[in-house]
Amino acid sequence: MTIAVFPGSFDPLTNGHLDLIARASRMFDQLVVAVGQNTSKRGVFTASERVAFIEAEIKNLPNVTVQVETGLTVAFMKSIHATVLVRGLRNSTDFEFEQGIAGMNRTLDAHIDTVCLMAAPKYQFVSSSLLKEVAQFGGDLTQLVPPAVAKGLRERLERE
């Protein structure tokens, strides 16, 4: 059985993330969405809120689970016997970034393979910083994030 991990901060969860989750779920026996913290960014949602958003959207994917990850992804993967790391690519900048991470992960654990999936064209421009800015100024995010995430973003950013 092949267990794959799709790690990310998912802050906020986007329809692009959900597209990648659905596609990866068809490729592997089990997919674990690993919710982590991006240490270089200030988060909007707590880890438990992000897990709840994802779980609400993946109910129809029986081979997908969500877990909070802290620390090194390769250590998390080893703890659940996962051998494949799934990453999404929007552009060549993402590729160069992910190439370095894949090399480091492979150095840390030679049993880890990284599989990169190209983002669907309609989501290739989406980034968390863009979404937060649009939400802050009341823009419509309905095509880019699940409804609960759009509502949560608006409410959270209005309070700040």
The answer to the question of whether 126 is labelled as a binding residue is yes
Any known ligand binding at 139?
Answer: no
**Residue 40 known to be catalytic:** no
Is residue 76 a known part of a binding site?
Answer: no
Residue 19 has, within 13 A of its CA and on its CB side, a CA count of 18
Beta-sheet pairing, 3-8 with 84-89: parallel
Answer yes or no: is 98 a known binding residue.
yes
CA-wise closest residue to 22 among 123, 136, 105: 123
Tokens of 42: 């200030």
Q: Binding site annotation covers 156?
A: no
Could you confirm whether 17 is annotated as catalytic? yes
**Which residues make beta-bridge pairs with 34?**
7, 67
Verify whether residue 25 is a known catalytic residue.
no
**Is 158 annotated as contributing to ligand binding?**
no
Question: Is 123 among the annotated ligand-binding positions?
Answer: yes
79 in catalytic set = no
Six token digits for residue 6: 């799709």
Active-site entry in 23, 78, 90, 106: 90
Tokens representing 45?
A: 């949602």
- The residue annotated as part of the active site, out of 17, 25, 50, 132, is 17
Nearest CA to 10 among 58, 49, 56, 63?
A: 49
Residue 128 annotated as part of some ligand binding site = yes
Active-site residue, selected from the candidate residues 40, 59, 92, 128: 128
Please report, in range form, the residues annotated as the binding site for substrate: 9, 41, 73, 87
Q: Binding site for ATP: what residues are annotated?
A: 9-10, 17, 88-90, 98, 123-129
Residues that are catalytic? 17, 41, 90, 128
> Residue positions in the annotated binding site?
9-10, 17, 41, 73, 87-90, 98, 123-129
